[in-house]
Structure 1
Amino acid sequence: MNAITQAIVNNSTLEITRIKITNATKTSFLMSLECKVENTGPISATMTPMTLSMSGNAGCFGTLKLPEIKTCSSGTTLTVTDQRIEIVDMDAFVAFNKSIICDSSLTLHLSHGSTKIKALFLTAKITYQKSVHLKGMSGPVTTMLSTTTTSSPGTFTNTMRALNPSPLEIDLGTLHQELRNARGEKIATQKGKVYFGLGETTYVMQGEVTGVEVGEGEVRVLGVGVEEE
């Protein structure tokens, strides 16, 4: 029974349709998750609550507690709302966030899930692990919508628009950016609160010029870091 059930679970699919990361601190963050569990076979079953290790390309950064899951032949939707995740490796967590923002694709590894599956009055112990492939933000592609000068010399306000093609949302807090000309020279710095939601996001940045001429060609926006809060 255990071997058969384990094989069914191994062949099942887990699609993450939304991940939201907010309220990050030096020790923890909040995660919300929406998933589809499919290909679990023709018989309905119940999977007991379990704890999963979450890993990105730089290793495990935290553990996720999943509630009881009731599967059915047509598929099951799983939702986790604002779960507090303790960060076990900050470097791994930072690398995962960087991959979310910068890469076109990434993989979230869920592992070490010890659970039981109950079906047809029988119970089987299984180990749950999945590698979930996700679409990243690819930058995201950012456009400067408008620029206005402020009362202080050399300062300005920029309204920016970012396009996020992924199912991932992230609250960056206060983001620092540099504006660079076609020669790669820093022509200005700017900062502001940024939350990358699904699809299109508009945010406002306060900036200061460096005195370097803009010159000809496109201006690039480069994220250089976030403030610790």
Structure 2
Amino acid sequence: MDTIVQYILDQSKLDVTLIGIKNATHDSFHLSIESRVTGTGPIGATMAPMEVDLTFDKACFGKLMLPEVRTRPGGTQVNIYDQPIKIINMAAFKRFVESLMRDEHLVLTLDNGACTIKAMFLTGRCTYRKDVHIKGMNGPPTKISRTDEGTNILAVHNQSPLEIDHGVSLFEIRDGDTVLAELKGPMQIKRGGFEFTQNITRRDKPVSASNPTGNVLLVGTGVEDNSAWTNETLKYIRTPLELTDKFVSLYT
């Protein structure tokens, strides 16, 4: 029975449609996951709750408690909301967040779970290990939606399942080594397309900066709560930005 259970578990697929992160502190956060399990076979079964390692690039950065799962031939929804996660390896966790923000694709592994499955009056035990293939934000692609005197609205395309609340966030718009403007305001990354509005301050700069080179970047510089780990991970945002005519007229 254990061998059969392990085989079925290995053949199953876990598709994640939401990775929600909020309430960041210096060493923790709250995690929400929406996912669907498929490929578990024609017979329904019940998988008992268990703790698994959250592993990225072969390093465990935290522990996640999976709920009881009742599998069905057509697939089963598995959702977790606002589970507190203690970060036990900050370097590995930051690599995971960096990959989520910058890469097109990444793999998160749920590992080392002591799995118990009941089906047809039988009980099987095995080790739970599942690679979860995730789309990353790939940048994320960002453009200026609107610029006014004192405010700037940015539009972001997020292809990934990641949603993360950075709180009040700080950015710079840079043309090479020159800082054209500083941005400050709340930023909450959402799935799909979203916009966020920030206050904008023009920076003193050389006269040559009035002719942008075309190498303009939106660069994250930190968050207002600089004790949270998001103060470092926001700096992974370093994405090309095309200046609009309105922005150039006001801030260069």
Instruction: Name the TM-score, length of structure 2 as normaliser.
Output: 0.83
- Displacement of 1:41 after TM fit? 1.2
Specify every segment of 5 or more residues in structure 2 that has no aligned partner in the other structure, as ranges. Answer: 229-252
* Contact residue 189 and residue 207 of structure 1 kept, 8 A: yes
Please state which structure has a larger fraction of its residues in helix: 2
Give the number of aligned pairs.
222
| Mapping for residues 160-179 of structure 1, pairs under 5 Å | 160-179=154-173
User: Which residue number in structure 1 is paired with residue 110 of structure 2?
Assistant: 110
Name the SS of the counterpart of 1:117 in structure 2: strand
Aligned-residue Cα RMSD (Å) equals 1.6
Secondary structure (helix, strand or coil) at the match of 1:123 reads strand
Name 2:60's counterpart in structure 1.
60
Partner of 2:125: 125
Conserved? CA contact 1:180–1:187, under 8 Å: yes
* Residue 211 of structure 2 is aligned to residue 215 of structure 1: yes
SS at match of 2:40: coil
Residue identity over aligned pairs, in percent, reads 40
More strand by share: 1
TM-score normalised to the size of structure 1?
0.91
In the other structure, the counterpart of 1:158 is 152
Structure 1, unmatched stretches of 5+, are 150-155
What is the deviation of 1:124?
0.8
Which of 172, 179, 187 aligns to 1:186? It is 179
Residue 226 (structure 1) aligned with residue 223 (structure 2):
yes
- CA shift for structure 1 position 217: 4.5
1:202 lines up with 2:195 in the alignment: yes
Q: Which residue does 1:76 correspond to in 2?
A: 76
Task: For 2:139 and 2:55, locate their aligned partners in 1 and report how far apart those are by CA, in whole Å.
Answer: 21
Task: Find the aligned partners of 2:169 and 2:140 in 1 and give their Cα distance.
Answer: 14
Contact in 2 for aligned 1:164/1:199 (Cα 8 Å): yes
Q: Whole-Å Cα distance in 1 between the matches of residues 24 and 58 of structure 2? A: 18
Alpha-carbon distance in structure 2 between the residues aligned to 1:114 and 1:32? 22
CA distance, structure 1, for counterparts of residue 220 and residue 152 of structure 2:
15
Aligned position for 2:233: none
Once residues 73 and 178 of structure 1 are traced to their aligned partners in structure 2, the CA distance between those partners, rounded to angstroms, is: 50
